[in-house]
Amino acid sequence: MRRPLVAGNWKMNGSREAIDLLLDGLSGISTTAEVAVFPPYVYLPQVVSTLCGSGIDVGAQNVSEYQAGAYTGEVAADMLLDIGCRYVLVGHSERRSLFGEKDRQVAEKFVASQRSGLIPVLCVGETLEQRASGKTLAVIGAQLDAVLERAGLESVCNGVIAYEPVWAIGTGKTATAEQAQEIHREIRQQLGEPGMKTRILYGGSVKAANAAELFAQQDVDGALVGGASLDSGEFREICKKAYVAN
């Protein structure tokens, strides 16, 4: 049985005050799913300390592939673990498209995260152009293969995968529940038997209004939520709709 995970990616938003308000709005959240929030780096200690004992986990939005040393501006996986993070996003499409992260680097980040004891959430997904030209499965397959080759099957299956079609991120366009299920099933098939335990999240304009339909799909084990996670009321509603299937 896979316990769903609802993960809120706050991206580069917030201030100490705004985050206090947002966290206030999440207190006493009611769901059988696991919940995690991913604030900007500088607010991680504030969020970890406020959420301590709440049952909500904390993750970082990025991590260095290096362990320590002369890498100005980078943050190591050990440091994230040290301050109380449980999860880390790797290969988010904004990191890939805006900051030039390649599959190989994403794979290194995945390995570095697991080596430190963090749970990486590996993001994969196709652009609209790739979908339109029938390349969706090849693109996702290659993104996954790069990490499989570097980390090995068992390690990948111990992480979390987030299928995030790039055309659905921050656009208000969501994949239909059927489109999401089709890709999630393919990803699970690529992982084979060990992938039966792997949580595969859907991400891309998830809101309270479309969450239930997505969560009802057999291979959708929760969501990676961007914009809607900045509204505590909306995020609470999404979390409520994720349930543990028998």
Which residues form the catalytic set? 92, 164
With respect to ligand PEP, which residue has the nearer C-beta, 85 or 224?
Answer: 224
Nearer to ligand PEP, 41 or 66 (CB): 41
Q: How far is the CB of 204 from ligand PEP (least distance, A)?
A: 5
CA distance 96 to 10: 17
Instruction: By CB under 6 A, tell whether 203 contacts ligand PEP.
Output: yes
Distance CA 222, CA 197 (A): 13
Distance (Å) of CA 85 to CA 53, 59, 116, 144, 160: 13, 5, 11, 24, 15
CB nearer ligand PEP, residue 88 or residue 224: 224
What type of residue is 141?
G
In whole angstroms, the minimum distance from the beta carbon of 38 to ligand PEP comes to 9
Q: In the set 39, 59, 165, 227, which binds ligand PEP (CB under 6 A)?
A: 227
Of 81, 78, 100, 101, the residue nearest 90 (C-alpha): 101
Which tokens belong to 221? 């084990």
Candidate list 206, 220, 238, 242; residue touching ligand PEP; CB under 6 A: 206
Q: What is the DSSP letter of 3?
A: P
Of 87-146, binders to ligand PEP (CB under 6 A) are none
> Among residues 117 and 233, whose Cβ is nearest to ligand PEP?
233
19 vs 225, beta carbon nearer ligand PEP: 225
Residue nearest to ligand PEP (CB): 226
Structural tokens at position 141: 């397959």
Residues found in the chain: 246
Q: Taking the complex as a whole, how short is the minimal distance between the CB of residue 225 and ligand PEP, in angstroms?
A: 5
Radius of gyration for the chain, computed over Cα atoms and rounded to the nearest angstrom: 17
Kindly tell me which residue out of 106, 161, 169, 238 binds ligand PEP, with binding defined by CB under 6 A: 169
Record the tokens describing residue 171, joined without a space: 């656009």
Binding-site string for ligand PEP from residue 1 to residue 30, where x marks contact by CB under 6 A and - marks none = --------x---------------------
73 φ/ψ sector (left φ>0, alpha ψ -120 to 50, else beta): left
Count residues near ligand PEP (CB under 6 A). Answer: 13
* Residue 164 makes contact with ligand PEP by CB under 6 A: yes
Residues 13 and 224 sit within 8 Å (Cβ to Cβ): no
CB count in 10 Å sphere of residue 72:
4
Does 61 bind ligand PEP (CB under 6 A)? Our answer is: no
Which of 85, 225, 238, 242 lies at the binding interface for ligand PEP (CB under 6 A)?
225
Alpha-carbon 47 to chain mean position = 17
Q: Which is nearer to ligand PEP, 56 or 227 (CB)?
A: 227
Residues of this chain that bind ligand PEP (CB under 6 A): 9, 164, 169-170, 203-206, 224-228
